[in-house]
Amino acid sequence: MKHTQTWTDVYGSACASFEGRAGGHRWLVAAPPELAANVPAALEAVDGKGSVQLLVHEGLTPLLSAVRSNDPRGVLVVAAQALASGPAVRLEAQTVEATGDGTDYHEGGEFPAWQGAVPWNGPSGENAAASAVAQAGFPVVVTDAANVQAALEGWMSVTPHGR
């Protein structure tokens, strides 16, 4: 995929767009800053149709905003460990101070258990980002940073008109 644009959202999150071949779907890849360093290169190596927006975020509010505004086919969450599913999570209310020119925001609440959109026999574990995506009603897959390209291409391959 070709990197086409980079910007910062209202919350101070770094965002980037990648375009593949014509057709396909819109995808969202969400990564915390500490795991995001190699994600752009992995997305540039993806062989697929459609487009991908990368969101490098802290907290769930920027993620939920990106999910709602982009209406992606699915959300690939980058985590320390790839997970197949996870339990419900409860986050205490907090104020997140945005970096740079972003806006501070409040977040917290209860988020449901989730099941990965691509079935595999991996471990189950808590992941607040995946739970938030599930609550918003979107398919989610959780992978580690080293497997972003493989996870996204695999998901595209099992999705009609996806790759």
| Blockwise average pLDDT, block size 10, the chain, 163 residues | 95 94 95 97 96 95 95 97 97 79 81 93 95 97 97 93 74
Predicted pLDDT at 99: 66
Look up the domain containing 140 and give its range.
2-157
pTM summary value: 0.94
Does some domain include residue 28? yes
Does some domain include residue 163? no
Buried b (16+ CB within 10 A) or exposed e, 133-157: bbbeebbbbbbebeebbebbebbbe
Predicted pLDDT at 107: 87
Predicted pLDDT at 105: 79
Does some domain include residue 102? yes
Does some domain include residue 93? yes
